[in-house]
Amino acid sequence: MGIETVITELTSFLGQRLSRSKSDLELHGQSETHFPLMPPDAVAYPENTQEVAEIVRICARNQVPVIGWGVGTSLEGQAQAPSGGICVDFVRMNRIRKIRQADMDVTVEPGVTREALNEELRATGLFFPVDPGANATLGGMASTRASGTTTVRYGGMRQNVLALEVVTADGEIIRTGSRARKTSSGYDLTGLFIGAEGTLGLITELTLRLQGQPEAVASAVCAFPSIKHAVAAVIDTIQMGIPMARIELVDVATVQAVNAYSGSELAEAPHLLLEFHGSDSGVAEQSQSFGEIAESHGGAGFDWATKAEDRNALWAMRHNAYHAIKATRPGAQVLVTDVCVPISKLADVIEETLADIENAGIYAPLVGHVGDGNFHTSMMWEKGDDDQLATIEAASHRMVERALANGGTATGEHGVGLGKKRYMDREHGPGWAVMGAIKQALDPDNIMNPGKLVPPRN
């Protein structure tokens, strides 16, 4: 094991920016999940691409693992270090390099968070639309192929990254894509690194597509008699071509939690929360069209708001849903699982999942980006109650199996990490071995985030 050599060499050029403090190792060995601590041997804080390349070259020579780190908001243990090694924390690479208004693109370092970017863009009339909820870094969002509430309109990271700079497993710096809006020039390496979770290289720069801030924004909320009615309304809305910017489902348990947390008085029924972007008359028309669709599916209490304060209250409620849910069981732990299915299967899969959860005696509010067929459960248990955890893990497993059996995917937006690796074979069949062959070709010594995503080496 060359870890001591690596630490000596890294210290010689990073100095204080290589940390072995216990608190740093623990912080970078944690995750948002229930996995045990898996700390790296050291944490490096590079300030530029050349330093990242040098870190990787040193690790490559000594066959020591390299794991990237944004702000640690990934949900499947993607950035934990099960084999130790060097964690590369991008917090010091957080510069916005260039905003190009005419081209509606921006070049950023990987440690920039999406909120910091949008704050910087505010005065330009542009914004970056991908919103996974957490204030993640853009490098992390690309690496996990994040998406979120606005994906139904603007796409996720895969659709919104034009170009990357990547340090590969041998410490070489490559560029993928360009600032041209489209290309047919060679293999889509940009797409390959997006969602690779750092197993093929470290992203050191991103060029992102931006959107114009809409002239008008309206929000709406509507209660439905059942999940089936709500999803039927979503399907009609999409078929009609109404360009919703967000269309979110919250189930009864989430509504109860939100009412208790925010003091809102939503009816205890499944709700859809929507946002419309466009011109003044455009959002009015969209809202009205949706209102008619909702009514035809038993929607009640439909209300829409263009005033910023009303909209903000509505979306604060949605964004706080996770906190509201946690507040119902102070001190409890949460296992968050996400799956995604064809939208025609969505109502059945959600209803079966809710019935299963109820039968198992689990408390697990459900929210969904229903325009994409994607939903999450937050299954809760008391810390230390291993039986309850086992019950929850079994229910989470059945939820994934149910999604796969219905033509869906084991994860719509949270990624594979450690938590979903067991489903890769089932979901991809021989395609998983193709992923393994690509990994073997680009990282023959298996130093880039080893133990994640691809099949184990023989």
- Binding to its own copies (CB under 8 A) within 301-360 occurs at 340-344
Binding flag, residue 233, its own copies (CB under 8 A): no
List Cα–Cα distances, 149 to 226, 243, 368, 374, in angstroms. 21, 13, 9, 10
Inter-residue contact 388 to 422 (CB < 8 Å): no
Residue closer to its own copies (CB basis): 241 or 361 = 241
Binding flag, residue 155, its own copies (CB under 8 A): yes
Q: Rounded to whole angstroms, how far apart are CA atoms 138 and 70? A: 8
Instruction: In angstroms, give the least distance from the CB of 3 to its own copies.
Output: 27
Neighbouring residues of 412: CB distance < 8 A, sequence distance ≥ 6: 147, 338, 339, 340, 369, 372, 373, 374
Residues 391-397: contacts with CB within 8 Å, 24+ apart? Answer: 391/360, 391/361, 391/362, 392/335, 392/360, 392/362, 392/364, 393/335, 394/360, 395/356, 395/357, 395/360, 395/362, 395/364, 396/335, 396/337
Binding flag, residue 376, its own copies (CB under 8 A): no
Q: Which of 24, 109, 33 is nearest to 415 (CA)?
A: 33
Enumerate residues 104-143 that contact its own copies by CB under 8 A: 104-105, 125
Instruction: In angstroms, give the least distance from the CB of 246 to its own copies.
Output: 14
- Give Rg (Cα) of the chain: 22
Instruction: In angstroms, give the least distance from the CB of 304 to its own copies.
Output: 17
Binding segment for its own copies among 314-322, 350-358, 383-391, 406-414 (CB under 8 A)?
Answer: 406-414
For 179, the 3-state DSSP assignment is coil
Residue closer to its own copies (CB basis): 166 or 274 = 166
Q: Pick from 5, 21, 178, 312 the residue near its own copies by CB under 8 A.
A: 178
Binding flag, residue 434, its own copies (CB under 8 A): yes
User: What single letter denotes the amino acid at residue 308?
Assistant: A
Token pair 């809409």 is found at: 214
Binding flag, residue 271, its own copies (CB under 8 A): no
Binding flag, residue 455, its own copies (CB under 8 A): no
Enumerate residues 239-258 that contact its own copies by CB under 8 A: 239-241, 243
Binding flag, residue 212, its own copies (CB under 8 A): yes
Binding segment for its own copies among 254-262, 316-324, 357-365, 437-445 (CB under 8 A)?
Answer: 437-445
Binding flag, residue 420, its own copies (CB under 8 A): yes
Binding flag, residue 172, its own copies (CB under 8 A): yes
Q: Pick from 97, 181, 397, 422 the residue near its own copies by CB under 8 A.
A: 181
Contact string 46-85 vs its own copies (x = CB under 8 A): ----------------------------------------
Instruction: In angstroms, give the least distance from the CB of 276 to its own copies.
Output: 12
Binding flag, residue 204, its own copies (CB under 8 A): no
The residue count for the chain: 458
Binding segment for its own copies among 253-261, 352-360, 368-376, 380-388 (CB under 8 A)?
Answer: 368-376
Residue closer to its own copies (CB basis): 94 or 446 = 446
Q: Rounded to whole angstroms, how far apart are CA atoms 149 and 292? A: 23
Binding flag, residue 91, its own copies (CB under 8 A): no
# of chain residues touching its own copies (CB under 8 A)? 93
Q: Rounded to whole angstroms, how far apart are CA atoms 16 and 18? A: 5
Binding flag, residue 194, its own copies (CB under 8 A): yes
Q: For strands 216-223 and 300-305, give the pairing.
A: antiparallel
Instruction: In angstroms, give the least distance from the CB of 400 to its own copies.
Output: 10
Q: Rounded to whole angstroms, how far apart are CA atoms 354 and 94? A: 41
Instruction: In angstroms, give the least distance from the CB of 17 to its own copies.
Output: 27
Mapped to the 3 state alphabet, what secondary structure does 89-121 carry? EHHHCCCEEEEECCCCEEEECCCCEHHHHHHHH
Instruction: In angstroms, give the least distance from the CB of 41 to its own copies.
Output: 27
Binding flag, residue 191, its own copies (CB under 8 A): yes
Inter-residue contact 245 to 276 (CB < 8 Å): yes
Q: Pick from 32, 47, 285, 351 the residue near its own copies by CB under 8 A.
A: 285
